[in-house]
Structure formats: C-alpha cells, structure tokens
Amino acid sequence: MEETRQHRSLRAVPNDRTLHDWKNHWIHDETAIYCAQCLASQSVLDAQAPFVHHRGCGYAHPLFAHYPWQDLARILRADMLKELSRP
Ligand SMILES: [Zn+2]
C-alpha cells in the first residue's frame, strides 16, 4: 500500500484521465509505449519503472515521473467497469 501511495505522489500526468488524453501524449504498439514528443520508448516489461524521456523532451517533468503503462491500465479498467455497469 505504501509503495502505491509513493508512486502516486510522483505522478506527473493527472491529465491523462481518458484514453483520448493518453493518446495525445503516448504512442503504443503491442510491446512498447513511445513518448509522442521525444519517441523514447518503454517495454511492457518495465511497466513498473518510471518512464525515461530523451534529453530535452518537452513532455518530461523535472520533478515527477510518468508511468504510461499504469495510466493506460487504469484508464482501460475504468472504461471497462463503466461498460459493465451499463444496464
Ligand atoms: Zn518524451
């Protein structure tokens, strides 16, 4: 639990609340996510690690880390629950 809270306090992407927002910042294929600005990539195997942008990327944040795989999972889970709870 403590670890989850720590990760959350490091987040920089509270704007990525919907799939639409997420897709504005990230590009994905089956096994990797790419920053739409600097095209740095992260494998799904590193989903628990903070995303590392290329030097000078405008979307990188000096104090906070991005966890794009976790954000995507959270968004999809929320969408699925919404869908399932529809009468
Ligand atoms: Zn970047």
Residue pLDDT tens, the chain, 87 long: 444 444 444 555 555 778 999 999 999 998 999 999 999 999 999 999 999 999 999 998 877 889 999 999 989 998 899 899 988
Answer whether 0.85 is exceeded by the pTM. no
Rounded-to-integer distance, Cα 30 and Cα 12, Å: 24
Quote the ligand 1 centre to 40 CA distance (angstroms).
6
Q: How far is ligand 1, taken at its centre, from the CA of residue 54, in Å?
A: 6
**15, 59, 69, 19: which is closest to 36 by C-alpha?**
59
Domain boundaries, the chain: 2-84
C-alpha 38 – ligand 1 centre gap (Å): 4
- What is residue 17's predicted lDDT score, i.e. its pLDDT? 79
Compute, in angstroms, the gap from residue 56 CA to the centroid of ligand 1. 8
The pLDDT, as a whole number, for residue 7 is 46
Report yes or no: 29 and 41 within 8 Å, Cβ to Cβ. Answer: no
Residues 6 or more apart whose CB falls under 8 angstroms from that of 36 comprise 24, 25, 26, 27, 59
